[in-house]
Chain A
């Protein structure tokens, strides 16, 4: 290693190592610790002492062993080869690690993120002699079936192209040479970027398009925008991971970055085995072809867990800069916060709330602020959406990570244990959840789906609110005491909950629900409600309505592939059955008895 400062270890306590003789090193510089050259990062400096968090297990490391500084912050490689790959928290490819160290992860492995040998086909779109600006597209590489990888002029470089190659090359080959004011600059197919620094853009925009997730409860009731931020807090077993997986599978973003931060190993394996088999509804190609996975499971080193969310968001930003809509799913941000707490405690910092470091709020804020729709340096539009799962201890939402996250995110999807116990999935509580994008996005829905859609949404929501109030009365006096109209509210709410809000993530048809279908389903249920209200005025009892045959058809709408053709029939069937019942009840007027 050229140009390094060399210090030596003076103290080791778990993942925190103190090294002396480090004068000249900068904060957040990456260092190599000990004889095994474990990867670490400087997180505090005191005179000539550097306090280092080590990304690998420090067992066996001894005082007085050497520490080398690379004089560079933690950077990752960005280029073709990221898609469909799986990395650890500091962007080392897990597949390559297994080639070196077998089924278990050994220490001190240094591997580049991108395959050095793989040959790509580079198609330049600029010519020799052309003047280029930072962030401009130099050419493209077909990285996967779905993603066309755009090679960008690195940030801070502008000038005239003096040489450009095309055709087959590896990421290490020089593709373009640019003459700049500071001399000639060569550009490879990949570039490096420090993960803790947001990538630049021209300006941020207001989110106005929804990120269609194919999940009814989200799209219809609590939509998130492309470039928006959402938090999913929930106790264990309430379906955070399944929800995150569904979002990663069905969201209409161009690129998905899925960060498994301190979670289960088997879950990442599931993503690895499922995604190549699942087909993206938009492109018809396997979902893996647009996905990047970061897996730093709970038993992998804690400091690398802290870095994993930054690694993930940097990759998402990189694709944004190409003009794509990328979405980052972080599961779970609580583990990230706990990693900060663990490191903080080892540094003997003064703890803030519940032992978390005082800078917890600002770190979370910085992270979520990296989301947003932007105009890129290249005048294109792109976005990064961030959806963070939160795992509050004991399911208590008043704890610091949830609260600080909610201050930053605009969408709150509250997972609820009682709903999960009832196998109501996704277990999103419709009364406590909210989305601040609703108003902005209604314009889109009204224009692209139907004018009625926002109205139906409002009415359905009001009905569910009303039901919650009625349930309290029922708890006191029983359901029989309610007047018929209110019984109908209970009946329709039940239908809304069971036939609309519940969605089976593992059902072939139901797993993904298009906006059109969501609208038609809602229209049917609410249409049924309106019609049933009239029937009640004409003397029909709710008890009778609840035993209609059409109820089953309504309940099975979610499994219906051709709802666009069938929805009219269903409404007609409702009309037929209700008017028949009306006739019966007028005939037996006065003696109507259940």
Chain B
């Protein structure tokens, strides 16, 4: 039964109220034809016995209260899906915009999906090598994880996301993968960057793109990620592919959410964002994961640009509470010319410990990462201190920590846009860094590992060490570990016991 009405009573912001309606379902899809014959889509947000509040995805411009025809389609918003979608480009609401043919549906799915039963989830545990040292060693990405990039305006988050998409591999396995890319309100230029990047690396055929650009209707952003994730779910759980989903930029998505909320006169939560934003975001992020007895997986990398680099802003804050960690980009590192400028201290991967260890990366991986974390943190603290009291007042040990912090940024974090480091190389580099400290300082590492892998003796020969680290830092990134290797390993092992 298709019901058409011309009884639009009220239009405010992205919403319109249709009166004298009958038997309308909550969440139902709505088709609107304006007086000029233009077709639009919407969704029922609230319904009572004779009134329905409809949210229009393409805005309310051109809607009138006399001639606009509203048709209730009778079902919730569905997406036709098929494997043919790979390699195609779609608009933010899922229609092809690449001159290709329409998609012939293998299946039609509700874009809102259903929650995965926690009992049926498979705990993510496959290590993904991204080739980025700060990620692989210290914030390991695991298949089925949702790990956002917290960035700021003007920082190279797109480059990092593209680099991860390009380099990500699961060691020792050759499996079918796909990338689903959802753009929400990003500029045409940014979208082109990703498109070209995928084309350049020959990955285009494995990519599905959904583009809602900055000049597209803001409200459409509400459905773009849902469509993308529905596609991803189909590819992952029906077709057994390992899907990487890149969502950018969630900040624009949340703005759209706030716009609708404001139009509905809802009681606002923090900074005007609706009180249900946590639940709404969870509905997106929780669609990542792996399911028992099914082959595929969905790994999500959402990108957020933090307004004013403020990590306590409601958008990153609520995101951080749902996602399994975060990569945080640092403006300071970026200014120093370090790429990728990942600040490891506030970054975190909650699922890391499942993806690393013996048989996956190395048995000492966790120890080593913890050690580097705490040593670098100490070095950073000392930097602040030095700014006040000067380096002279530090003892010798503290000076080593300072050196370590510098070397960590210049050699380990900095690696360049195209450098793809294997996990072995990354681990090696990390050992060299921690070996700048005397063995007694390495409390996070088991003694056996120290005996086996510790390079050089750190305590004496400070001068030499400092020299080695201090020079040639600004040159080519690709030579990074080689330099360190020579200067440190020459000193031989256990030259003299400490104390």
Binding site for B on A (CB under 8 A): 10-14, 18, 57-64, 86, 94-95, 97-98, 101-106, 235-237, 241, 260, 262, 264-266, 268-270, 272-273, 295, 297-300, 302, 335, 338, 341-342, 345, 348, 351, 354-355, 391, 393-396, 417, 420-424, 474-481, 498-499, 506, 543, 546-549, 551-552, 555-556, 559
* Partner pick for B395 among A59, A420, A477, A480, CB 8 A cutoff: A480
Docked complex Cα distance between A268 and B119 (Å): 8
17 further interface pairs, Cβ-Cβ under 8 Å (given A103-B237, A237-B325, A338-B275): A12-B46, A13-B26, A62-B25, A94-B119, A236-B317, A237-B346, A265-B286, A266-B289, A269-B123, A345-B275, A351-B267, A393-B314, A422-B373, A424-B374, A478-B385, A480-B393, A549-B497
Most A CB atoms within 10 A — which of B24, B25, B291?
Answer: B25
21 examples of A-B residue contacts, CB within 8 angstroms: A11-B46, A14-B276, A60-B25, A60-B27, A62-B24, A62-B25, A260-B118, A262-B282, A265-B116, A265-B118, A266-B351, A269-B121, A298-B322, A299-B283, A393-B314, A394-B317, A421-B346, A422-B374, A476-B388, A479-B393, A552-B440
* A-contacting 9-mer, from B58-66, B78-86, B107-115, B239-247: B107-115
Docked complex Cα distance between A543 and B96 (Å): 70
* Partner pick for B114 among A86, A104, A543, A548, CB 8 A cutoff: A104
Question: Known contacts A105-B114, A264-B286, A298-B279; is A10 also within 8 Å of B388 by CB?
Answer: no
* Partner pick for A342 among B27, B117, B279, B287, CB 8 A cutoff: B279
Chain B 41-57, CB-CB to A under 8 Å as 1, else 0, gives 00001111100000000
Docked complex Cα distance between A478 and B382 (Å): 10
* Partner pick for B47 among A12, A394, A499, CB 8 A cutoff: A12
Say yes or no: B279 contacts A421, CB within 8 Å: no
Say yes or no: B326 contacts A237, CB within 8 Å: yes
Binding site for A on B (CB under 8 A): 23-28, 45-49, 76, 112-124, 144-145, 237, 266-270, 275-276, 278-279, 282-283, 285-287, 289, 291-292, 294, 311-314, 317-318, 320-322, 324-326, 345-346, 348, 350-351, 353-354, 366, 370, 373-374, 377-378, 385, 388-390, 393-395, 397-398, 440, 443-444, 446-447, 497-499
Say yes or no: B286 contacts A297, CB within 8 Å: yes
Say yes or no: A95 contacts B119, CB within 8 Å: yes
Docked complex Cα distance between A109 and B353 (Å): 36
Say yes or no: B395 contacts A395, CB within 8 Å: no
Task: Write the chain A residue with the least CB distance to B311.
Answer: A394
Docked complex Cα distance between A106 and B394 (Å): 63
Say yes or no: A302 contacts B276, CB within 8 Å: yes
* Partner pick for A423 among B114, B285, B291, B370, CB 8 A cutoff: B370
Docked complex Cα distance between A298 and B289 (Å): 14
Say yes or no: A106 contacts B351, CB within 8 Å: no
Docked complex Cα distance between A95 and B76 (Å): 28
* Partner pick for A393 among B237, B287, B317, B440, CB 8 A cutoff: B317
Question: Known contacts A273-B123, A393-B270, A506-B353; is A422 also within 8 Å of B276 by CB?
Answer: no
Question: In the complex, which residues of chain A have a beta carbon less than 8 angstroms from the beta carbon of B345?
Answer: 421-422
Docked complex Cα distance between A298 and B366 (Å): 29
Docked complex Cα distance between A266 and B115 (Å): 12
Task: Write the chain A residue with the least CB distance to B24.
Answer: A62
Docked complex Cα distance between A62 and B49 (Å): 9
Question: In the complex, which residues of chain A have a beta carbon less than 8 angstroms from the beta carbon of B24?
Answer: 62-63
Say yes or no: A543 contacts B395, CB within 8 Å: yes
Docked complex Cα distance between A556 and B205 (Å): 53
Say yes or no: A345 contacts B317, CB within 8 Å: no
Most A CB atoms within 10 A — which of B115, B144, B269, B287?
Answer: B115
Say yes or no: A479 contacts B394, CB within 8 Å: yes
* Partner pick for A104 among B113, B124, B282, B313, CB 8 A cutoff: B113
Say yes or no: A104 contacts B26, CB within 8 Å: no
Docked complex Cα distance between A552 and B45 (Å): 64
Question: Known contacts A103-B291, A297-B286, A479-B395; is A94 also within 8 Å of B312 by CB?
Answer: no
Docked complex Cα distance between A394 and B397 (Å): 35
Task: Write the chain A residue with the least CB distance to B45.
Answer: A13
Say yes or no: A391 contacts B117, CB within 8 Å: no
Say yes or no: B322 contacts A237, CB within 8 Å: no
Docked complex Cα distance between A58 and B47 (Å): 11
Question: In the complex, which residues of chain B have a beta carbon less than 8 angstroms from the beta carbon of A546?
Answer: 397
Docked complex Cα distance between A264 and B112 (Å): 18
Task: Write the chain B residue with the least CB distance to A546.
Answer: B397
Say yes or no: B76 contacts A59, CB within 8 Å: yes
Say yes or no: A506 contacts B366, CB within 8 Å: yes
Docked complex Cα distance between A359 and B348 (Å): 36
Docked complex Cα distance between A526 and B285 (Å): 48
Question: Known contacts A345-B275, A478-B389; is A264 also within 8 Å of B373 by CB?
Answer: no
Say how far B269's CB is from chain A's closest CB, in angstroms: 5
Question: Known contacts A12-B46, A104-B113, A556-B447; is A342 also within 8 Å of B26 by CB?
Answer: no
